[in-house]
Amino acid sequence: MEIRPIRTEADYKAALKEAARLIEHDPDLGTSEGDHLDVLATLIQAYEARHYPIDLPDPIEAIKFRMEQAGLTAKDLEPMIGQRNRVYEILNRKRSLTLPMIWKLHQQLGISAESLIRPTARA
């Protein structure tokens, strides 16, 4: 098993090709091929994080996405945000999230606090 750093786009493409080959064989954990795939995946992930970073979502979009995922309504957000009119003001970008709202949304819905503290895009 030869493991080398991924420094260039060519190295990256070769690593992806090798990972795809290994995935097709579905190696068991703890085997030589399984360990090779594990290390290769870590190197690929590090390269992608450095060269293709994914920006955090807009806070309101993150809330709406989580609502859709969990089948929540504006009424379900009231314990975290306040009265329904306040919930709609937040969702319609008329009012900003407060720190207590951010904390409750993070705790109760599992939305990344880092996403929630970002400035929202104005509609």
**How many domains are there within the chain?**
2
- 40-71 pLDDT per residue, tens: 999 999 999 999 988 888 999 999 999 999 99
Do 75 and 40 share a structural domain? no
Distance CA 79, CA 108 (A): 10
What is residue 1's predicted lDDT score, i.e. its pLDDT?
59
Do 38 and 14 share a structural domain? yes
The CA R_g of the chain, rounded to the nearest whole Å, is 21
Do 68 and 106 share a structural domain? yes
Q: What is the pLDDT along the chain (123 residues), one digit of tens a residue?
A: 578 899 999 999 999 999 999 999 888 888 989 999 999 999 999 999 999 988 888 999 999 999 999 999 999 999 999 999 999 999 999 999 999 999 999 999 999 999 999 887 665
Domain range spanning residue 80? 59-116
